[in-house]
Chain A
Amino acid sequence: EVQLVESGGGLVQPGGSLRLSCAASEFTFSSFSMTWVRQAPGKGLEWVSVIGAGGSPPYYADSVKGRFTISRDDSKNTLYLQMSSLRVEDTAIYYCARKMNFGKYPVDYWGQGTLVTVSS
């Protein structure tokens, strides 16, 4: 069974930085595009970023462009989200998720999420 386990969340001050990780297992990680989706407390889902398999360029939501960087280490089966210049409105549960196929497909497996709280 596909497993995705996020880590790295926590409390950070506005303007600070944090790096999230997502450890993947039970599938060929290097063959799949991977995504981050977030959900502010009591709010809906917000797509954040995607990174393709094999070096295709990443995409970002306008709300995080220039502040967040998605990356992957296929040798470690791990997805990352480097977050900087954090704002109070970045407070959310951050989920990593696997895109189900190449092309215009949704995500099919999600992690359990990691909570990021931006507050002074």
Chain B
Amino acid sequence: DIQLTQSPSFLSASVGDRVTITCRASQGITSYLAWYQQKPGKAPKLLIYAASTLQSGVPSRFSGSGSGTEFTLTISSLQPEDFATYYCQQVNSYPRTFGQGTKVEIK
């Protein structure tokens, strides 16, 4: 199975900050990676797929990059509604594993 490791697991940031989350895969997955946002008590929401394609309706301050084994999710200017937990998921092979999550909290 492909393991995904996110870093950091927790980050504290202020409104307006640029935030970067990294997801590393245990083996190459080309660009078959997605990012989700989850707020407390809610289902996850798809933000980015194919490593860098923004899902319809997602604000342009979110962006994704990477290929192979290393990927990043960047929020260019953190907004109050962005405080949440973010997960990466590989969709290259089954089982479709998730990273352990990165919780973004208000500094």
> B1: which of A62, A106, A107, A111 is its contact (CB, 8 Å)?
A62
List B residues 17-61 near A (Cβ within 8 Å): 32, 34, 36, 38, 43-46, 49, 55
- Interface residues of chain B, those whose CB is within 8 Å of chain A, are 1, 32, 34, 36, 38, 43-46, 49, 55, 87, 89, 91-92, 94-101
In the complex, how many angstroms separate the beta carbon of B73 from the nearest chain A beta carbon?
Answer: 14
Beyond A44-B100, A105-B49, 4 additional pairs, beta carbon < 8 A: A45-B36, A45-B38, A106-B49, A108-B55
- Which residue of chain B is the closest to A6 with respect to CB atoms? B43
Interface set of A (CB-CB < 8 Å, partner B): 35, 37, 44-47, 50, 59-62, 95, 97, 100, 104-108, 110-113
Say yes or no: A106 contacts B46, CB within 8 Å.
yes
The answer to whether B44 touches A61, judged by C-beta atoms less than 8 angstroms apart, is no
B49 touches A45 (CB 8 A): no
Chain B residues with CB under 8 Å of A62's CB are 1, 95
Q: CB distance B91 to A110 under 8 Å?
A: no
User: Which residues of B lie under 8 Å from residue A46 when comparing CB positions?
Assistant: 98
Chain B: minimal CB distance from A74 (Å)? 22
CA distance A110 to B44 in the complex (A): 7
Nearest CB of A to B1, in Å: 7
**A45 cross-chain contacts in B, Cβ below 8 A:** 36, 38, 44, 87, 89, 98, 101
Interface centre among B49, B96, B97, B99 (most CB of A within 10 A): B96
Cβ-defined contact, B46 with A47, below 8 A:
no
Q: A104-B92, A112-B43 are in contact. Are A44 and B49 (CB under 8 A)?
A: no
Given contacts A104-B91, A104-B92, A108-B55, contact A47 B43 (CB under 8 A): no
Asked if B32 contacts A108 (CB within 8 A), the reply is: no
User: In whole angstroms, how far apart are the Cα atoms of A45 and B97 in the complex?
Assistant: 9
Residue of A nearest to B55 (CB): A108
Given known contacts A45-B98, A62-B95, is B32 in contact with A104 (CB within 8 Å)? yes
